[in-house]
Amino acid sequence: MSREDGLTLEMAQRLFPERYTMEHKPSWADTQRPDGRYPAPQHRSDASWFMHTGFSWASNGRWYITMYMHEYPLGESLAEPYQIATPEQRIAA
């Protein structure tokens, strides 16, 4: 999967490890918020994150995120930290 700007999903996954999807959870996602809740995944998949995020190539030779359109498939916050389902759990569902 690639975009007109030449950025591919695989490149974006490597460049932006802090994305939070139901497939990829960064370490900060386990941090409880001041209201006692936890952040929820912003997208169902990395592919969805890639398609709903704007990227720009800067003159210093780096990619930057310039826009987000979050989906929040589970709502904006959770009572417990999100756990990525194992392959076995996905088959059973």
* pLDDT tens digit at each of 93 positions of the chain: 666 678 899 999 999 999 999 999 999 999 999 999 999 999 999 999 999 998 888 888 889 888 888 999 999 999 999 999 876 666 665
Asked whether residue 3 is domain-assigned, the answer is no
Asked whether residue 47 is domain-assigned, the answer is yes
Asked whether residue 81 is domain-assigned, the answer is yes
Asked whether residue 73 is domain-assigned, the answer is yes
The total number of structural domains that make up the chain = 1
- Which is nearest to 32 in space by CA: 73, 78, 71? 78
Instruction: Give the pTM.
Output: 0.83
Q: What is the residue range of 80's domain? A: 9-92
Asked whether residue 1 is domain-assigned, the answer is no
